[in-house]
Amino acid sequence: GTVHLETEGGIARLTIDNPRRRNMMNLAMRDVFHDHLAAALEDETVRVVIITGAEGNFCAGGDITVMNETPVESRHRLKRLHRIVRLIAYAEKPVIAATEGFVAGNGLSIAAASDVVVTASDAKFICSFVKIGLVPDTAALWFLPQRMGLGRAKLAMMTGEPLSGAQAVASGLADIEVEPGQALERAYEVATSLMQAGPLGIGMTKALLARAPMSLDESLKAETDAQAVLFATEDFAEGRAAFLEKRPAKFQGK
């Protein structure tokens, strides 16, 4: 298996490509995934990142056949995985997961960490760690309760029972439901829409949300600081002028 990175028109697409194993990622693939993701997020021409899987599946998680490690090796492996969700959570660019088929294990964790999850109605979201005697990892313990609420997240994590794409949307685990085979197309539509918004505003919004949990006063202070900076940007001047002139804004990220 491998991971592909393609960039066009300000949109970067990472494709997990190991179809014979439902796009499971071994350690080497995860390192490539991390490096491609970091490169896309650092690329000044990229405004939105889409993560998807090849041939009808998103990602079925890690390769259980090689999970015969010592505790020290296991900690090292998880720390390498944590780099991926940190990139997604803290990057000041929107990340969209386009999910079809199996979305399981840390594949589900990566999807849940994304800013927008587009899913086929018949996808299978499975928090399967308890099925092999483990706890949810790769930040699933953080992101699932954030998305689903504590009760639903407990049910999904403790039973390991699958949710369809439609059920995932109903529970908050995913955001947009589409017909099977249409997730990537819809993700590009969402990406195109996001590219019409001010990139500095989007980036600052993500940065503020990533500080959670905050008290109301902490949130108001952070909002004040961020808004004061954005008021002084060229993007705000352009957005204000475009609004008054009733035309689309042309944001430059400045």
Residues acting as catalytic residues: 82, 137
Helix axes 234-245, 216-231, angle to 10 degrees: 80
Taking the C-alpha atoms of residue 67 and residue 74, their distance in angstroms, rounded to an integer, is 8
Q: Compute φ and ψ for 176, nearest 5 degrees.
A: -130, 125
Contact between 177 and 98 (Cβ < 8 Å): no
DSSP 19: G
Residue 17, classified by CB atoms within 10 Å of its CB into exposed (0-12), middle (13-18) or buried (19+), is: middle
**Angle, alpha carbons 18-19-21 (nearest 5°):** 80
Render 35-89 in DSSP notation, one character per residue. Answer: HHHHHHHH-TT--EEEEEESTT--B--B-GGG----HHHHHHHHHHHHHHHHHHH
Query: Residue with structure tokens 């993500």?
Result: 206
Q: Which of 198, 200, 225, 210 is nearest to 90 (CA)?
A: 210
HSE-up (13 A, CA, CB side) for residue 233 = 17
